[in-house]
Amino acid sequence: MDKEAITILFCTQERSNQADRIRQALCDAGLTFNWRESNPEIVAHTPTADVILLYCEPASASSLDNWLEAHQSNFPPVVQLLLPDTRPYPTANAAIHLNQLGALATTLLYVTEPNRLKRACEQSSLRLVASEERFRRLFEDTTLASLLITGGKISDANRACATLFGAQRPQDLLGLSLLDLSPPSQPSGQTSAGLAGEAISVTMTQGTHRFEWESLRLDRSPVWLRVITTLLSVNAEPVIHAVFEDLSVERDQRQRLEFLAYHDSITGLPDRNACILRIDQMFTQQPNTQPAVLKLGVDDFKSLNNLFGYQLADKLLVLVSQRLASGLVCEHELFRMPGGKFAILLSEVQSSETLQQIAESTLLLFESPFELEDFSRRLQISIGASYTDSRQINAQTLLQEAQIALSEAQKNKAFHYSLFEPAMRAKRDNNLRLREQLRQALINNEFEMYYQPQMELRSKRVTGAESLIRWNHPTRGLVPPNEFIPIAEESGLIVQMTRWILVDVCRQGRVWLEKGWEDFTLAVNLSAEHFDAGTVEADIDHALSESGLPPQHLEIELTESTLLNRTDELIVLLERLRQRDIKLAIDDFGTGYSNLSYLSQLPVQKLKIDQSFIADYFTNKGNRAVVQATVLLARSLKLATIAEGVEKPLIADSLYAIGCDSVQGYLLSKPMPARAFEMWLESHKAEQRMSVFTAGRRHFPNT
Ligand code: C2E
Ligand code: CA
Ligand code: CA
């Protein structure tokens, strides 16, 4: 057994697995020691030790008590290990909490030192130096700042402590009290003197205490500390051992994280979490309050992101937030919500009229364009509102309702404002249900492609078909695409759905090709969301290679709005598709805002004139003029034209007369399942019953 080492008697009720942890902590601290274990009941019969490390409830230590009493002055010091709910053992010389084992080695040395010094003195002066040195080394070399307080004044301090408080040498701290190193009051507002008094009394009664403290360095600069105090007894005199940890960096980070947790990093505005907290606060502080929320969104924010890239779009958001703030009345609060949205919180709203007025004046703020780098552009925003209106609802619901109203407002291009109504929620719930059913329908194969023929007017030849999806709903029967395509687009399901469509249509094309139909194209509708997802080219490739359909038989229909505001990348992608002989058509032409000269720069071959211009072709002069101008311009740009929604022979005639190339519509046939289409095509070829057209009456020279 090492005579230099201190002998520790670990005294516990039953063999505890804490013993190994404690031994390890002491080894880690560099202490050399001999370890013995004993039960408090039999401790009296075990050979003596330098220190008793007590780890049990005081009640179980009664025999220890008796023994200590019997030996009065000649017993080793007792250090008690505490768990949060262990009661302190009154006879213990020091107590250490189990989660501050780092300080245990110093404590053990400290309490054993008087006895050991005495013994060492009796034995040899050399040993005295050795053991004292060991204690000092631990106290000095630890990187944790620590000091001893005797009689309220600093009686010892290590180098780390001097550095922490900005002293040149540890001695410079001696004789000071902790209050000399503290501001008059702590961040909580309580006086430092009062709180220090409390901390000391907790340490004295419980043996240990842990708290955070704002201190001052010698140059009076503040430092935020975690303090762990331990009560020691040296020669029957209480001494407080304090260990400090500098939390300044941690606190700055914590404050920054707290800020970030409640603020948007782009605009610096409080965020959604902050908004919820604020509304909750309003409800609890003034239970009769009727707060309202205006939720604002920049229309088509996603394509702004695509058009400008995230960095510019972020700058734009900052400008939007500034403009919103400029119109804010002082009791209104502005928040940044996810996805390019904002919320204005109003503490008290009496009527829907007031809300509407505020919304209208907010919309007015967006009349003038935004100037950013070399671009100037008006941004359209929409506003959805919800107010409590003496209903019992919580913050989440209020925000959710405002969002539902906002979605409604964004769909309604005329007003840009809507107030939440319960019917909206029902509609949204229905949408959510549909969304789930759609997901299931994809798995269950409930979709079927229908085909609607397209005919070239000059030759009367059926040149192809547009594929249109149908949903064979197990209970509702055939569901039209207008009911589910927008939901598929909103939810992103459209990508998966179109992947399936492409494969199905290409396979069908391959079948018809093999049956001898040679010169034809099958058109597939592509949604903007699919381009946003970035998989269009790969999905087309997959469908073509999987089916073996040559690419010239595939046509892609894109709407004007898909093309508008899209990045150069889209143009490059379309260019690549064209080079591979895939056809491109612009769908619903005339309903968007694109001008023809812009479109002529795109790799497009065909314009599909929207059916809204065709339906009242004879009764609406304006529409007729649009169609004529479109056909003329398209010709000059070498673009083919096809009119959609042609139901009457006379309209087909007239379209032919003005130079429109092809037609599609009920006049030929409604969209049909593949099998029916095949039969229709056969009979069409066989009969060539073009008598419905006044064929040959051409008023426009064919080029
Ligand atoms: P769209 O692409 O403009 O399709 C033309 C729509 O007009 C089809 O409606 C078609 O049945 C209808 N139609 C054709 N001829 C006539 C006519 O003479 N008179 C009238 N009144 N209507 C006619 P449908 O099939 O209900 O599709 C509606 C919309 O749903 C489509 O408009 C398209 O935007 C979308 N859609 C349909 N199938 C698909 C698809 O497979 N993928 C995608 N992304 N969208 C699709
Ligand atoms: Ca279409
Ligand atoms: Ca169309």
Residue owning the nearest CA to atom 25 of ligand 1: 468
- Give residue 691's pLDDT: 44
Cα–ligand 1 centroid distance for 304 (angstroms): 28
Alpha-helical segments (H) within 58-141 = 62-71, 104-123, 125-141
Most confident by average pLDDT, 10-14, 137-141, 180-184: 180-184
First to last CA, the chain: 112
Half-sphere exposure of 100 (CA within 13 A, CB side): 26
Ligand 1 contact via 156 beta carbon (within 6 Å)? no
Q: Are 520 and 553 in contact (CB under 8 A)?
A: yes
Ligand 1 contact via 501 beta carbon (within 6 Å)? yes
Cα–ligand 1 centroid distance for 485 (angstroms): 10
- Give residue 522's pLDDT: 98
| Of the candidates 300, 305, 302, 325, the residue with the CA atom closest to the CA atom of residue 315 | 305
User: Which has more confidence, 594 or 493?
Assistant: 493
Ligand 1: residue of 447, 449, 468 to mutate (most ligand atoms within 8 A of CB) is 468
Q: Which amino acid is at 147?
A: L
| Confidence class for position 132, pLDDT limits 50, 70, 90 | low
| Ligand 1 atom having least distance to the Cα of 667 | 18
Asked whether residue 438 carries a pLDDT value surpassing 70, the answer given is: yes
This prediction has a pTM of: 0.57
Cα–ligand 3 centroid distance for 165 (angstroms): 77
- Give residue 161's pLDDT: 93
DSSP 289-308: ---EEEEEEETTHHHHHHHH
Cα gap 99→20, rounded to integer Å: 14
Ligand 1: residue of 525, 530, 589, 607 to mutate (most ligand atoms within 8 A of CB) is 525
Most confident by average pLDDT, 15-19, 631-635, 652-656: 652-656
> In this predicted structure, which of 180-189, 282-291, 608-617 has the lowest mean pLDDT?
282-291
Q: Are 183 and 221 in contact (CB under 8 A)?
A: no
| Confidence class for position 128, pLDDT limits 50, 70, 90 | very low
> In this predicted structure, which of 130-139, 225-234, 531-540 has the lowest mean pLDDT?
130-139
Most confident by average pLDDT, 74-83, 134-143, 331-340: 331-340
Residue owning the nearest CA to atom 6 of ligand 1: 645
- Residue 660: strand, helix, or coil: coil
Beta-strand ranges (E) seen in 192-340 are 208-216, 222-234, 237-246, 292-298, 333-337
Asked whether residue 700 carries a pLDDT value surpassing 50, the answer given is: no
